[in-house]
Every structure is written in structure tokens, then in C-alpha cells.
Structure 1
Amino acid sequence: MNRFRANPKLLAPLLAGMAMIGPFSIDAFFPAFHAIEAELGVTPAAMQQSLSLYLAAYAAMSLLHGPLSDAYGRRGVILWSMLLFAAATAGCALATSFEMLLCFRVLQGVFGGAGMVVGRAIIRDRFDGADAQRLMSQVSFIFGFAPAIAPIIGGFVLGAAGWRAIFWLLAGFTLFLVLASLAALPETHPRERRTRFALRPLLRTYRAVASDRRYLLLGFAAALNFGAIFTYISAAPSVVLSILHLSETEFAWLFVPIIGGMMSGSALSSRLAGKIDALRTVTIGFILMSIGAVLNLAGSLWLTPSVPWFVLPIGLIGMGVTLSFPTFTLLMLDRFPAVRGAAASVQATISLGVASIVSGVLSPLVSASPLGLACASTGLTISGYLLWRIYLRITPNCGPDVLSARLEPASTATPSST
């Protein structure tokens, strides 16, 4: 049931556009790796750190986006963050050294996550139950366009105008979203519901979240599931250029199947909302992930890497990931209903922390081998499933109405830990 009058048809694309900024600044960048290495005189390993440092900054600042929105309102935090992100992106375009590029990439990471983090809180501010799941799925569906089209656009912009034009295009898109938000983004967190932004209460809130086993199980399960896909995304230059032997303009062969699967999962989650219970949706998601993992391993063992067979199982894994993701997110936000911004921040930090490890440590170790990539992806999927099973085991009354208010207290910011 809606708490406020809202237009989800307008809200969904706006929130999705803001959430797209972060992944777009990653994926549009991939085709330019070789060009930047040549112009700035750096190694492929150093270029990989431009991704890892971005994600690390993204994850660290995500701890503050939500609490800032709890204290000062959702709208202002998003608008200021996007303006500063646009400035950092322009700095990347103007970089004259690799060190300068890294500094502005870190600043991109600092401000790039506000749309994703605060957007989730906005959805939960306005909607309950199946309505919230449906809108979260619609946002995820639209958001899925970013990783699919970003490397394609990046490749063509690179060929037409050079790697710096990729950053100018992203800065322009961000400023467009600022103008759209000024016109259409509502404030969903009124002054009477805001909490004071202070270090000590904030640390107490984070301590409460960090001590909540159910929240952490859900957060790491969702993050590990996404890690199964991000293993391939972060290794995209190696997969496309070295394993599949394609060109800088053919990243679509990897990203379109992956994001097509993820968007299909989001669309299916939206369609199933209110028709089957949320727990069954997660189960179907893990079944799809498992089938994709088995096919992925089999293909890596017995087939020569080629399109489309190499990438189709990865798309099936992506479908399972996004089918289950809205349920994970809503369950986590409902653990701390009075400070959903902070809860969304911690969720983003967990996801991005895992993604940073995957991109900076795991992916470089396995990116040269199709079998290594498949094993890493499968291991992450299995780990996510085990955490989900533990969550179900320790959660009482975890039945079909799992997203209803009776599962968690609706009036406290700090539910008791299990």
C-alpha cells in the first residue's frame, strides 16, 4: 500500500538513471584500457587498480550517503552528489597523468553511489510489500541497460573521439539527471522523520547493523551472488580481447547476454510480485544460478571459448541474481525501518566491498583462464546459497508473508540480534 501519492512510472526511470551513473563509469571505461595504457604509459595491472580504487571509494562513501539522507533529506543528498560526481568526471577527462586520473577516479567513487543508495531508501519510504518489490524490480530492469550499453557506447566513442570523450559524455549525462531531478524528484523523507547526523549516534547505528546476523547474512548472500557475475564484468578486457579474441568495439558479445539475463530476472521479479511469495522467488533465482553455473563449468571444460556459447550461461546466472535481489534488499531494509538510509548504505558497502575484492584480487588471478573464471563464479554462487540457507534456519516465522510488517518490529531502528 502506498504511503504517499507517487508516480512510479516516472520515479522508476529517474531512480534507475541515477543508479546507472556508477556502473556506467565502470563499464564505459573498459574499451579504453589499452588506449589509456598507451597514452599515459601504464601497465594493465595498474589500469586494473583504477577500477579497484574507484570501487573502494564507492564502498566507503556509501556508509555516509544513507545517514546523510536520513538527516538532511533524500533529494538534497542526491542532487549535490551528482553535481560533484559530474565535476570529478570532468577531471578524469582533463587528466594529464595516470596519478591525476586515479585521484579523480577516487572522487568519482566518493560521489557516484548516492543515487543507488538513497534511491533504495526512497522506494521503501513510499511503498510496502509487493508494491516495493515491483518498483525495486522495475528500477533494476531499467538500471540493467547501463552495463549493457556502456561498453558499446564506450567503444564507439573511443573510436570516434578518443578515451577522454567517454568521460565528457558521462559528465553530460549526469548533469541531465540533475536537471531532471530538480523537476521531478520528490522529497520522501520529511523533516519530522529525520535523524540528527552525528558521529556517535551514527556509530551506534552501524554497530547495531553489524551485530545483526540476519542482516549480514542477507547482505553477504546478495553480494556474493552478484560477485558471480562481477567476476566476468571486472575481467571484461581479458575475456573479450584475450579469451574470445574480439575487438574493442565488440564488448557487446559479453555484456548483452549478461545484462539481458539480469534484466529478464528483474522483469520476472516484478511480474511475480504479489503472485508467489518472496521466498519462492529467491528459490527460483538460485535454481537458475545453479543451472547457469553447471553449464558454465561444462562449457569451460569441454568447449573452445567462443560466442555465443561462452556467454549464455553467464546470462542465466545474471537472471537468477536479479530475480532474488529485490527480496534480499527489502528484507534488509526492513531490519531497520527507522533508519533505512543507513541500512541501504551498509548494504551498498557490503556489495561494493565484495566487488572490490573480486575485481582487485580474485578476478586478476583467474581472468586468463575460462575454467578459472567459471570455478570462481560457481564458488561465489554456492557461498551465497549457503548464507541464505543459514538465514532461513535462524529466522522464525519465515513464511510466505516474509515481507510483511509482522516479521520485524516496525517502530525501532535497532532490532534485536538473533
Structure 2
Amino acid sequence: MPSQPVVSFAGRSRMSPKTAMLVVPLLLAGLSMLGPFSIDTPFPAFKRMGADLDVSTDQMQLVVSAYLLSFGLMSPFHGPLSDAIGRRPVILGGCAVFAVASIGCAFSTSLPMLLTFRVLQGLSAGGGVIVSRTVIRDVFDGPQAQRLMSRVMMIFGAAPAIAPIVGGFLLQAGPWPVIFWFLAVVGLLLVALVAVFLPETHPKERRTPLAVGSLLASLGEVSRDLRFHRVAWAAALSFAGQFIYIGSAPIFVVDLLGKGELDFWVFFLPMISGVMLGAWVSGRAAGRVSGRRLVTWSLLFASGAALLNVGLALLPTAAELPYAVVGPGLIAVGTAAAYPTLQLVLLDMFPRSRGASVSMFTFFALLLNGITAAVVTPWVTHSVLTLALGSTVLVLGGMLCWVWHLRTGPRPVPAKAPEPIKPTESL
């Protein structure tokens, strides 16, 4: 018997439940795509941006790390704020500020000015990217939640493949600022869609007090829980093994593989195909395979793919296609199959503070990715082999954290769903 909604959508909406189950996941995926689009769309323009701003390729990596680090530093606060005032206000405000920051990037005339607005983009983007993840778990429980989370991830997974292609085509239409004008339009479009289609899923009866002490207390409760750290780092490290390729895509595609600004698809297509395949596996496994088993086998697959990637990097054909992109694509299959379940495990650890849980997880993951882009990437992008080795260390680290959780943590018990609350107006 399929699981039923934990609570109906609260707020005003004229959509039928069937329509909502189609529209809302698409909208949540769109909000999640804001992050990859912010990172990947400017990639094809890095050379032009560097020439116009008179900075080196290594300095241009700061455009990625400034966004990621600021996103990570702000991420602990978006979720608890949504626990206190509701999901919609935080999402709407974040998308609106993101649009303004994107306009600032388009007008930037120096690297410090550009980085300032990239920081503002990072501080605001989490309003949509982070909080949107809690909406599905607000409404659904059990296998249905996993299926919908996987569906969102499948749609979201297309973003890193589409974004650099879009960036490349935008460059054919104008100078590099046109990319940030495009991001501004995306932000404003999301504001309009959320305002029209997304009801409030966190009613007043379940909200936490809007006080600094309460917000910090919820974050403290999450961050002190060793169970949370074991699962969060399993997810963050394994994904970082995939992200190290995404964060170094300009170097990997252009310098190591010798391709041009319109050729990013040769890397992102197999990578994101892997993400979508892994998310599909996760959705199909919902209700058929236990979460523990699914995560274990998925991370074992990712670890095996990482080791295969090192083997391929040792061959004379290491920098040739398709050999250079097979490993990253297979790693993506494993991490994407595990990721929806890992997120649900984290959300169910703190059913009254889901926003705080997803915020702290995002904080650790994005901080790790920011450090990876700023510190690790310059050390591992000398060759295809060193990049493969760096990815393998991260994936295996994630696997070890999950094994640690299995050996020392209590056997997970599905969280008891809170009593349904009568909505002010259901769909």
C-alpha cells in the first residue's frame, strides 16, 4: 500500500492533488537547479572573463569558490529560518536577492567587484536550493518520499549538463555579462512560479519560535549528534568525489582534454546521465530495497567506479574520449543512487527541525566543496591521473563514513510521522 501524505499542502491553491504532484516536484527541481546553474553556466566564459578582468586561470577559480564558500557559510540559517516563518517566505526572498546579485555580477568591471556579487549570490541562493528539499518530506512519508526525492534529483541532474551548454550559446550572442543577465532572469522567473504554484507546506502549528536562541538551539542539536555526522559526511564526501570533476571542469575539459568552450557537453553529458540513472535506480528501489542496503550497494558501486577511473587514467588513452569520462559518469551513478535516501535519513533524524537538519548537512557539504574547489583542485588538476586519484580518496572516504555508521550506529527505525494537521485549505 503506497504511503499517504503526512500532511496536506497548507495555504491557498486551486490545483488538484494530482496536478500538484506533477507541478510541485518540477518546481522544486527548478529551485534546486539554481545552484548548478550558478556554478556551471559561467564556465565557458572563464577565458573571456579572465582576459577582460586581467586575471589568471587559477584566480578565476575564485569565481567558483567564492560562491560555494558563501553558500556554505549561510546554509545553516536558511533551514532554521524556514522552520520558524515557513518555507515560502525564505524561498521567495532568496530567489529575489539572487536575481539582484546576478545583475551586479553583470555590471562588474573587476575581479573583486565580481567576487563581491558572487558572494551575495551564494548567500541568497540557499533560500531556494536548501529549503526546497524539506518540502517533499513535509508532505510525504516512506517510499513515496523517496520516489519524489529521486524524481526531483533526476530533473535536477540535467542542470549541470545543460548549464555550460547554455553558457556557451549565450557567449555566441554577446559578451560574458549576458550569462549573469540570464541568471537574473532565472531568479525572477522562480520568484513568479513560487508565488503562483507553491503552497506553504510548513503550517504555523509546527513552526519553531522565531528567536535567535531557538534557531541556534536547533542547529546545536543537529551538529552535536554523532549519527548526523556519520551520515552527512558519507553523503558529502562521496558527492565531493563527483564534484571535484565539476568544480575543475574548465581545466579538465579545456586544458587536460584539449577541447573548446562549446565542448563542455562531452564531459557533462555522461556525468549527468549517470546522475539521472542513479536517481532512477533510487526511485525504482523505493519500497523494494531497504534504505541501508541501497546506500551500501550504491556507495560500493561508486567506490569501484573510482578505482576503475584510476585504472583508466593509467592508460596511454587517459586524456582521450570516451576513456576520460567513463569513470566520472559511473561514479555519478553510485552517488546519485545513494543520495536521496541519505537525505531522507538525515531529515528523519530531526522530524521537528527538518530545516535545521538539511541546513547543517548543506553547510558541511558546500564548505567541503568550496575547500575542494579552492584548495584541492589546484593540486590535482595537473593530469587526468592526479584528478582521478583525488576523486577516489573522496569517494572512499564517504564509503568509510557509511561503514562507520553501520557498525556503530543503532539500526535505523523509520521516524513516526507526526499526526496530520488539518490544513487551512487543501489542494
**What TM-score does the superposition give when structure 1 sets the normalisation length?**
0.94
Per-residue CA deviation, residues 31-64 of structure 1 (Å, 9 max, x unaligned), is: 1111001001111122111211111110111111
Q: Which residue of 1 aligns with 2:107?
A: 94
Distance in 2 (CA, whole Å) between partners of 1:292 and 1:306 is: 18
Residue 192 of structure 2 aligns to which amino acid in structure 1? Answer: L
Secondary structure at 2:55 match in 1: coil
Which structure has more relative contact order (CA 8 Å, sep 6+)? It is 2
Residues 106 and 181 in structure 2, CA contact (< 8 A), matched pair in contact too: yes
Residues 67 and 197 in structure 1, CA contact (< 8 A), matched pair in contact too: no
Residues 137 and 269 in structure 1, CA contact (< 8 A), matched pair in contact too: yes
The 5-angstrom pairing of residues 200-215 of structure 1 reads 200-215=213-228
Q: Which residue of 2 aligns with 1:414?
A: none
Per-residue CA deviation, residues 126-161 of structure 1 (Å, 9 max, x unaligned), is: 011111111111111100111011011101111221
Distance in 2 (CA, whole Å) between partners of 1:41 and 1:180 is: 39
The 5-angstrom pairing of residues 266-345 of structure 1 reads 266-304=279-317, 305-345=319-359
1:405 to 415, 421, 425: 415
Residue 36 of structure 2 aligns to which amino acid in structure 1? Answer: P
- Ranges in structure 2 where 5+ consecutive residues have no aligned partner: 9-16, 420-427
Residues 238 and 368 in structure 1, CA contact (< 8 A), matched pair in contact too: no
Once the 2 structures are TM-superposed, how far is the Cα of residue 175 of structure 1 from its aligned partner? 1.2
Once the 2 structures are TM-superposed, how far is the Cα of residue 8 of structure 1 from its aligned partner? 2.2
- Relative to structure 2, which stretch is displaced further, 43-52 or 260-269? 43-52
The 5-angstrom pairing of residues 379-398 of structure 1 reads 379-398=393-412
Once the 2 structures are TM-superposed, how far is the Cα of residue 287 of structure 1 from its aligned partner? 2.8
The 5-angstrom pairing of residues 19-418 of structure 1 reads 19-304=32-317, 305-398=319-412, 402=413, 404-405=414-415
The 5-angstrom pairing of residues 3-22 of structure 1 reads 3-5=6-8, 6=17, 7-22=20-35
Distance in 1 (CA, whole Å) between partners of 2:407 and 2:401 is: 10
Once the 2 structures are TM-superposed, how far is the Cα of residue 345 of structure 1 from its aligned partner? 0.6
The alignment yields a C-alpha RMSD, in angstroms, of 1.4
Once the 2 structures are TM-superposed, how far is the Cα of residue 290 of structure 1 from its aligned partner? 2.3
Once the 2 structures are TM-superposed, how far is the Cα of residue 355 of structure 1 from its aligned partner? 0.4
Percentage of pairs with the same residue = 45
Once the 2 structures are TM-superposed, how far is the Cα of residue 17 of structure 1 from its aligned partner? 0.2
User: Aligned pairs, how many?
Assistant: 405
Once the 2 structures are TM-superposed, how far is the Cα of residue 116 of structure 1 from its aligned partner? 2.0
Once the 2 structures are TM-superposed, how far is the Cα of residue 202 of structure 1 from its aligned partner? 2.1
Once the 2 structures are TM-superposed, how far is the Cα of residue 200 of structure 1 from its aligned partner? 1.9
Corresponding position: 1:2 with 2:5? yes
Residues 300 and 399 in structure 2, CA contact (< 8 A), matched pair in contact too: no
Residues 293 and 313 in structure 1, CA contact (< 8 A), matched pair in contact too: yes
- Ranges in structure 1 where 5+ consecutive residues have no aligned partner: 412-418
Per-residue CA deviation, residues 350-398 of structure 1 (Å, 9 max, x unaligned), is: 1101101111111111112111111111111111011001111122234
Residues 225 and 380 in structure 1, CA contact (< 8 A), matched pair in contact too: yes
- Relative to structure 2, which stretch is displaced further, 341-350 or 170-179? 170-179
Give the 4+ runs in structure 1 shifted more than 4 A.
Answer: none
Distance in 1 (CA, whole Å) between partners of 2:268 and 2:165 is: 9
Once the 2 structures are TM-superposed, how far is the Cα of residue 410 of structure 1 from its aligned partner? 6.5
Distance in 2 (CA, whole Å) between partners of 1:90 and 1:310 is: 36
Distance in 2 (CA, whole Å) between partners of 1:74 and 1:203 is: 18
**What TM-score does the superposition give when structure 2 sets the normalisation length?**
0.92
Residues 81 and 215 in structure 2, CA contact (< 8 A), matched pair in contact too: no
Residue 79 of structure 2 aligns to which amino acid in structure 1? Answer: G
Secondary structure at 1:388 match in 2: helix
Distance in 2 (CA, whole Å) between partners of 1:364 and 1:139 is: 32
Distance in 2 (CA, whole Å) between partners of 1:75 and 1:65 is: 12
Secondary structure at 1:337 match in 2: coil
Secondary structure at 2:352 match in 1: helix
Once the 2 structures are TM-superposed, how far is the Cα of residue 258 of structure 1 from its aligned partner? 0.6
Distance in 1 (CA, whole Å) between partners of 2:134 and 2:316 is: 44
